[in-house]
Amino acid sequence: MITQDEINQRISQFKTDLKELSDDEMISKYYYNDFVPAAISLDTYHKLRLEIKNHFNLESIFDVFLVGSGRLGFSIKPGNEYKLFDDDSDLDVVIISKSMFEQYWKKMRDYDYKLSTWKKSSVFEEYFFYGWMRPDFLPHNTIFNDPFEWWKYFEDLSASGKYGGIKIRGGLYYSLEFLESFQKSAIKKLRLKESLEYANYSN
């Protein structure tokens, strides 16, 4: 894990980049090009991606991404802007797979059609609109057992100790385009907030 001083330097650089770089350039710099994660080493990150790729029979390790404060060292989520990664934080891993996403989508449809008892949260519906979901947030019962299996896999992965004993949580995206779009949305909101705060300070 990188030091707090290094994270503070990242925050300072990130704020500068918000003013100077486009959304696409921000994504390229902070999510690709072997950007070193804050919470784990680059070598450990590669091992984590490979393990998840093999477990879910994905085509490539590049179908697995680390996002959030575990990657940057700080959050860009609205309401938690620049909150540092700490001992209570999770490693947020996302899987990109159209086939897996569609499988869960069809099972959700069938489940809802048969029982009509699932009360979807507004958060789930908002994320689903942006092309991603947390399968462990889906209904847990003997009819629809996949959410439990998803949750258990990431619980076991966390408990293995191979990745620093940090809690690992998994999300599922329909495509890379949706992943980038969701991250860009957070970047846009943060850029707007920064500009408004600067304008208020200047006045």
pLDDT (average), residues 62-88: 94
The span from the CA of 101 to the CA of 57, in Å, is 14
Residue of 85, 60, 87, 51 whose CA lies nearest to 71: 85
The span from the CA of 180 to the CA of 23, in Å, is 9
184 — pLDDT class (breaks 50, 70, 90): very high
Q: Which two tokens stand for residue 49?
A: 């991606």
Quote the pTM value. 0.87
Asked whether the CA dihedral 89, 140, 162, 36 is positive or negative, the reply is negative
What are the domain boundaries of the chain? 4-197
Q: pLDDT by residue (tens digit) across 140-154?
A: 665 566 778 888 999
Q: In what order do the strands lie in the sheet with 91-96?
A: 64-67, 91-96, 168-173, 132-133
Task: Compute the half-sphere exposure of residue 46: CA atoms within 13 Å on the CB side of its CA.
Answer: 6
Range in 29-43, 79-93, 109-123, 180-194 the model is least confident about: 109-123
CB 152 within 8 A of CB 189: no
In the beta sheet, which residues pair with residue 65? 94
Q: pLDDT by residue (tens digit) across 94-104?
A: 999 999 999 88
Q: How far is CA 127 from the centre of its chain?
A: 11
pLDDT (average), residues 57-61: 95
Residue 118's pLDDT is: 66
